[in-house]
Amino acid sequence: MSWLNFFRKERETNGTAATAKDRLQVIISHERVSRTKDDFLPKLQQELVQVVARYVSIDPGKVQVNLERGGDFSTLAIDIELPGPAGKAA
Amino acid sequence: MAQVIVVTSGKGGVGKTTSSAAIATGLAQRGKKTVVIDFDVGLRNLDLIMGVERRVVFDIVNVVQGEAKLSQALIKDKRVPGLSILPASQTRDKDALTKEGVQAIIEELSQEFDYIVCDSPAGIEKGALMSLYFADQAIVVTNPEVSSVRDSDRILGVLQSKSKRAEEKKEPVKQHLLLTRYDAARVERGEMLKLEDVLEILAIPLLGVIPESESVLKASNAGNPVIMDTESQAGQAYSDAVSRFLGEERPHRFLDVEKKKGLLGRLFGGRAA
């Protein structure tokens, strides 16, 4: 049995075509949507920094916007580093 | 009025020029007066694939800039009657082409020819946009490989937004998928995207599948369009594609791995053509 499994596993790891198809379906569906509208992320980041800066002094260089595109849903993660208690407040 | 066909892909190296040469030759073989234009200004190669590189005198840029007449730049193929080649310039850059200049050339060619095949350069820059702008039909050449499929989808978007037909809100450019370098053995092993996957993702009608074949390199070495190699699978697949393009029904071939040859067949059968 175990040696049979060996061959079966080998076959599965060879099957990268299925991975290719899944990856293409996700990225192409996202690109088709974004084709019709501008990339909003830079503006989103800029506006977010402005809003947060009204309350806390932050370094605009320490803002990370990460987008993970998925098939069913995507995740937008925004990381803003706030100065520590010792940091120079404006 | 001639039909303008663009052969395009976005990605480079997938077989646009090979396909342009084969399809233009196939159309001419079926009695259609056909001209094939190289739009890859600065990186001319259609002349080599068509085997006319030593006969180039003037090129498309000379015609656009009024330095030569169109009839002086056209090279008549010596093998197939009714087939002409308009080469690209090797020394200028793509900015030498203007929409007005290309339009004038296409209008003049329309008087004489049934089909105008435009061999697009890779990318989505000016040369590629020029080659697809006047198209009535597009043959999108795609390899079963992630970057090629993605770029094909991108170029389909460009056809739907930046062609003359799109800008004038006319009937859209008719799209055809030509899947090239298809390796049935690798598909069977699950290593390569299969035809059905690519069709599902791109969702455009299939014109043909060209199997990976040693005959393509042999043909380009010799400067003969591969469709003239009637023994080879690639040549036959291109021939089927041209027939389908002209509205004939042809079953798709070479999609499955050939049956294993017996010992004698393996000894004497040689390699796949």
CA atoms within 13 A on the CB side of B36: 32
Q: Return the sign of the alpha-carbon dihedral for residues B213, B214, B218, B221.
A: positive
ipTM: 0.83
Q: Which residue has the higher pLDDT, A13 or A60?
A: A60
Res A6 pLDDT > 60 = no
Query: What does the pLDDT read at residue B144?
Result: 98
Which chain B residue's Cα is nearest to A31? B154
Task: State how far the Cα of B168 lies from the Cα of A65, in Å rounded to an integer.
Answer: 39
- Is the CB of A11 less than 8 angstroms away from the CB of B157? no
Distances (CA, A) of B98 to A19, B64, B70, B118, B199: 42, 8, 15, 15, 34
Mean pLDDT of the residues in chain B: 94
Residue-by-residue DSSP string for B153-209: HHHHHHHHHHSHHHHTT-SPPEEEEEEEEE-HHHHHTT-S--HHHHHHHH---EEEE
- Whether the per-residue pLDDT at A20 is higher than 90: the answer is yes
CB atoms within 10 A of CB A41: 12
pLDDT at A89 over 50: no
Residues of A with CB under 8 A from a CB of B: 11, 14-18, 20-21, 23-25, 27-28, 31-32, 35
Query: What confidence tens digit (pLDDT) does each residue in B119-147 have?
Result: 999 999 999 999 999 999 999 999 999 99
Cβ(B76)–Cβ(B84) under 8 Å?
yes
Give the CA distances from residue B68 to residues B58, B71, B119, B255, B268, in Å, rounded to whole numbers and listed in that order.
7, 8, 21, 46, 54
Provide the sign of the torsion angle of the four alpha carbons A13, A15, A20, A21, taken in this order: negative
Q: What percentage of chain B carries pLDDT values higher than 90?
A: 91
What would you report as the CA-atom Rg of chain A, rounded to the nearest whole angstrom?
22
A54 membership: H or E segment, kind and range: helix A41-55
Residue B137's Cβ-side half-sphere holds a number of Cα atoms within 13 Å equal to 15
What mean pLDDT is reported for chain A? 79
CA–CA gap between residue B103 and residue A51 (Å, rounded): 52
- Residue A90 pLDDT grade (very low, low, confident, very high; cuts 50, 70, 90): very low
Q: How many contacts does A have with B, using Cβ atoms within 8 A?
A: 45
Please choose, from the candidates B13, B6, B14, B17, the residue with its C-alpha nearest in 3D space to the C-alpha of residue B220. B17
Q: Where are the alpha helices (DSSP H) in chain B?
A: 16-29, 46-49, 60-64, 70-73, 99-112, 126-133, 146-162, 164-167, 184-188, 195-202, 214-222, 233-245, 263-268
Distance to chain B for A39, nearest Cα, Å: 16
Closest CA in chain A for residue B149: A24
| pLDDT greater than 70 at residue A76 | yes
The rounded distance, in Å, linking the Cα atoms of A36 and A32 is 7
Is there a contact between B150 and A31 if contact means CB atoms under 8 Å apart? yes
Whether this prediction's pTM lies above 0.80 is answered by: yes
Token pair listed for B144: 């079963």
Q: Which residues are paired to B209 by β-bridges?
A: B179
Is residue B105 over pLDDT 60?
yes
Is A28 in contact with B201 (Cβ distance < 8 A)?
yes
Q: Is B30 on the interface with A (CB under 8 A)?
A: no
Q: Does B64 touch chain A (CB under 8 A)?
A: no
Alpha carbon B22 to chain centroid, angstroms: 7
